[in-house]
Amino acid sequence: MPIQTKESAFTLAASLVFMLLRVLLRDTGNGFGVEITLLLLLLFIVVLWVIRHFTGVKLKSLDEMDLTIRSQAAIIATHGFGAVVMCYALALYLIYRGSACVPLPQVINLAYFSWLSLYAVWSGSIMILYKTGAWHVR
């Protein structure tokens, strides 16, 4: 298994777990919703660093196919990120258009889920591109 695939599998799992954690730890009226989200975001960054450290992925050690797949996956992930931001923002608009004011925790949630989805799509795309082969530009 390529070292990058291993990193991607762990990153994908971490992204999904952190999304699930945020849903499970939703604000139950104690007013700590934003703090929980920010804390999870910080933990996610630490987890990403730990994954990268223990899988031993270094850009210098990747060859041209690895780097091609990595950058193509990043392009796909950017589109996924944009799609999540757009859908989430549209949902917020439809929900809060009556009050013309979106609550701050929802804005933080938008940032949280869109950022995690970036990593989820990126790592998932890497795994798929190793199976299908990188795209070729002609």
- Cβ proximity to other proteins: between 24 and 64 the closer is 64
Token duo for residue 71: 């950058």
Q: What's the min distance (Å) between Cβ of 66 and other proteins?
A: 7
- Cβ proximity to other proteins: between 64 and 100 the closer is 64
Q: What's the min distance (Å) between Cβ of 63 and other proteins?
A: 4
Phi-psi region of 56 (alpha: psi -120 to 50; beta: other; left: phi over 0): left
Q: What's the min distance (Å) between Cβ of 16 and other proteins?
A: 25
- Cβ proximity to other proteins: between 53 and 136 the closer is 136
Which amino acid is it at 42? Answer: L
- Cβ proximity to other proteins: between 2 and 103 the closer is 2
| Whether 76 contacts 118, CB under 8 Å | no
The Cα 83–Cα 88 span in angstroms is: 8
Q: What's the min distance (Å) between Cβ of 6 and other proteins?
A: 12
What backbone torsions phi and psi does residue 105 show, to the nearest 5 degrees? -55, -30
Contacts with other proteins by CB under 8 A lie at: 2, 63-66, 68, 130, 132-138
Token duo for residue 88: 């989430």
